[in-house]
């Protein structure tokens, strides 16, 4: 049978990728998310009342954020404009708002502006949405895989409902597979046997779109046997998914493996390895701010006072990403990663605070020595609060040996500066000041 025979509308639909063909057209066929769209649930009520509000859909890849936005638009009978934060800028947002204003004034219709990966918009781009969202010119639906508390500006977040989409279950995936084989305009005409559906589901990594793309490719790679059946084995699925997948999932194990390799490369002073792992993360779609945050932590934990400027640069990188966004943010990240790799290393500050925290947690809460206490009232002064305190600036070199710890642990030394980089100067200064009392 010629699968491409029939009317022109059928031909067009048959050329659309399987994942697109299988987008549900009503809530009853939407996989998962019953806590949001089940009977009596908040989003379901909003849709049934045809009173959509601006919202953020937060969830892992492939759980239906885009599909849900399309469904909402269809069911509330609104116009729909879709932008990708990866490829769109402020001008695109303004054009969309202009179109929404026209729809409202000339047709009396509301417009849903759907922004995929809204967390990739920088502050200025997100700011451009505020006024029209507040005035009701647009109904904003933003989709994100990142925590909106960190990635969406507060004014925009306060104007939006946040709905959390959960990972699809095994049962959800089984329904998707069975529905696809039974009802897809192409696959339903074929005799298809899947050896191990559990294996197919495992390869999808929780992503329905990935599952359908892999299934479609597996069918295309396999010829029907003499019995007319297309037998999809685990080996075929392995081949299909390897062809269709970069081994980096920023929400799962490989995410942690690669960021671990990146951090360890910087800690090990290897800029080449650090830049390779950085490129892997960016190629896999990792959020630039996540990488920048990890470098801020590393700057204190693994470099510290051996090169204090490392922390300044890492924080500046985080701020710069907010201003310029991708793809230029990759330059900022690479500069910072290379610099941190080349810096002298010291974990003295990390060890010091770890030991201090251990004592704070395990030892009694010792009293603050009287001479260190605040004495704002007459009574406190009569109780000798602050009595005997030696003001360092009254002494030579603005220093005087004094006990600043509780008496019970007065000889404790937490901070042992290394002799690397600028921390060597710190060590020499502290040694000259405190002598054998501490160093």
**pTM: predicted TM-score of the whole model, two decimal places:** 0.53
pLDDT given for residue 279 in this prediction? 93
Q: Could you tell me whether strands 139-144 and 161-164 are parallel, antiparallel, or unpaired per DSSP bridges?
A: unpaired
Residue 426 clears pLDDT 60, i.e. is over it: yes
User: Hey, what are 239's tokens?
Assistant: 């081949």
Peptide bond into 178 cis (omega under 30): no
Distance CA 256, CA 259 (A): 5
Q: Which two tokens stand for residue 70?
A: 């399309």
Instruction: Provide CATH code, domain 253-342.
Output: 1.20.272.10
Do the beta carbons of residue 146 and residue 172 sit within 8 Å?
Answer: no
pLDDT in tens, 307-330: 999 999 999 999 999 888 888 899
7 pLDDT higher than 60: no
For tokens 């305190």, the residue is 389
Contact at 8 Å (CB) between 418 and 350? Answer: no
Query: What tens digit of pLDDT does each residue of 47-57 get?
Result: 888 888 899 99
* 246 pLDDT more than 60: no
Beta bridge pairs of residue 56:
142, 162
Give me the mean pLDDT over the 105-111 stretch: 86
Report the pLDDT value the prediction gives residue 20, as an integer from 0 to 100: 85
> Cα(232)–Cα(216) distance, rounded to whole angstroms?
11
Does residue 9 register a pLDDT over 50? no
What's the rounded Cα separation, in Å, for the pair 391 and 372?
11
Task: State percent of the chain over pLDDT 70.
Answer: 94
State the number of CA atoms in the 13 A half-sphere of 141 facing the CB.
25
Predicted pLDDT at 3:
32
CATH 3.40.1790.10 for domain 33-164: no
- 113-147 tens-digit pLDDT: 999 988 888 888 888 888 888 888 888 999 998 88
Cβ distance 348 to 305 under 8 Å? yes
pLDDT value at position 242? 74
Q: Please, what is the Cα angle at 423 between 420 and 429, to 5 degrees?
A: 130
SS3 153: coil
Terminal-residue alpha carbon distance, the chain: 88
Report DSSP state, residue 367: P
Quick one: what percent of the chain has pLDDT higher than 90?
A: 27
Rounded to 5 degrees, what are φ and ψ at 316? -60, -35
1 has a pLDDT exceeding 50: no
Domain boundaries, the chain: 33-164, 170-243, 253-342, 365-437
Residue by residue, what is the 3-state secondary structure of 195-228?
A: CCHHHHHHHCCCCHHHHHHHHHHHHHHCCCCCCC
Q: What does the pLDDT read at residue 261?
A: 93
pLDDT on residue 39: 87
Average pLDDT over residues 394-404: 90
- Residue carrying the six token digits 């597979």: 177
> Which pLDDT band, with edges at 50, 70 and 90, does 249 fall under?
low
User: How does residue 2 score in pLDDT terms, banded at 50, 70 and 90?
Assistant: very low
Tell me what the pLDDT averaged over the chain comes to.
86
In this structure, are residues 417 and 425 in contact, taking their beta carbons and an 8 Å threshold? Answer: no
Q: Which residues contact 391 (CB under 8 A, 6 or more apart)?
A: none
Separation CA 199–CA 173 (nearest Å): 11
Concatenated DSSP letters of 106-123: II---EEEEEETGGGS-H
- The predicted-structure confidence for 251-273, as pLDDT tens digits, reads as follows 555 677 889 999 999 999 999 99
Distance CA 143, CA 58 (A): 6
Per-residue confidence (pLDDT) for residue 312, from 0 to 100: 96
Q: Is the dihedral of CA 314, 325, 167, 193 positive or negative?
A: negative
Kindly report, residue by residue over 170-183, the tens digit of the pLDDT. 888 899 999 888 88
3-state secondary structure of 97: helix
Q: How many Cβ atoms are within 10 Å of 313's Cβ, its own excluded?
A: 18
Classify domain 170-243 by CATH number: 1.10.8.60
| pLDDT at residue 220 tops 70 | yes
Instruction: Report the DSSP beta bridge partners of residue 164.
Output: 58
The encoded tokens of residue 410 equal 């007065």
Contacts (Cβ under 8 Å, ≥6 apart) of 157: 56, 148, 149
CATH class entry, domain 365-437: mainly alpha
């Amino acid at each position: 049978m010629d699968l491409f025979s029939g009317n022109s509308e059928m031909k067009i639909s048959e050329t659309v990728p399987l994942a697109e063909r299988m987008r549900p057209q009503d809530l009853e066929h939407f996989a998962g998310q019953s806590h949001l769209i089940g009977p009596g649930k908040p989003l379901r009520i909003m849709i049934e009342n045809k009173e959509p509000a601006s919202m953020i859909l937060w969830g892992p890849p492939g759980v239906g954020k885009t599909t849900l936005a399309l469904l909402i638009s269809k069911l509330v009978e609104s116009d729909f404009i879709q932008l990708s934060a990866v490829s769109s800028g402020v001008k695109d947002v303004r054009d969309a708002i202009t179109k929404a204003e026209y729809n409202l004034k000339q047709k009396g219709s509301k417009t849903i502006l759907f922004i995929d990966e809204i967390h990739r918009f920088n502050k200025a781009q997100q700011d451009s949405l505020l006024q029209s969202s507040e005035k009701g010119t647009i109904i904003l639906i933003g989709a994100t895989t990142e925590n909106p508390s960190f990635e969406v500006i507060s004014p925009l977040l306060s104007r939006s409902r946040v709905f959390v989409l959960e990972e699809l279950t095994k049962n959800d995936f089984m329904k998707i597979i069975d529905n696809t084989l039974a009802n897809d305009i192409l696959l339903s005409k074929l005799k298809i046997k899947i050896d191990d559906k559990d294996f197919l589901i495992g390869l999808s990594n929780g992503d329905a779109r990935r599952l359908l793309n892999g299934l479609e490719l597996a069918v295309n790679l396999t010829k029907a046997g003499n019995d007319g059946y297309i037998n999809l084995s685990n080996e075929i699925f392995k081949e299909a998914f390897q062809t269709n997948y970069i081994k980096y999932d920023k929400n799962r194990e490989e995410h942690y493996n690669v960021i671990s390799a990146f951090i360890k490369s910087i800690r090990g002073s290897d800029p080449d390895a650090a830049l390779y792992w950085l490129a892997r993360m960016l190629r896999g779609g990792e959020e630039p701010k996540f990488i920048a945050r990890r470098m801020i932590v590393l700057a204190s934990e693994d470099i510290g006072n051996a090169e204090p400027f490392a922390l300044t640069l890492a924080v500046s990188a985080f701020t710069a990403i907010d201003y310029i966004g991708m793809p230029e943010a990759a330059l900022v990240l690479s500069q910072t990663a290379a610099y941190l790799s080349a810096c002298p290393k010291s974990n003295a500050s990390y060890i010091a605070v770890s030991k201090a925290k251990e004592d704070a947690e395990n030892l009694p809460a010792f009293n603050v020595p009287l001479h260190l206490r605040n004495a704002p009232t007459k009574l406190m002064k009569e109780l000798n609060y602050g009595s005997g305190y030696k003001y360092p600036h009254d002494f030579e070199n603005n220093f005087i040996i004094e006990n600043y710890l509780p008496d019970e642990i007065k000889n404790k030394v937490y901070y042992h500066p290394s002799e690397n980089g600028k921390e060597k100067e710190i060590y020499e200064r502290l040694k000259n000041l405190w002598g054998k009392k501490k160093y």
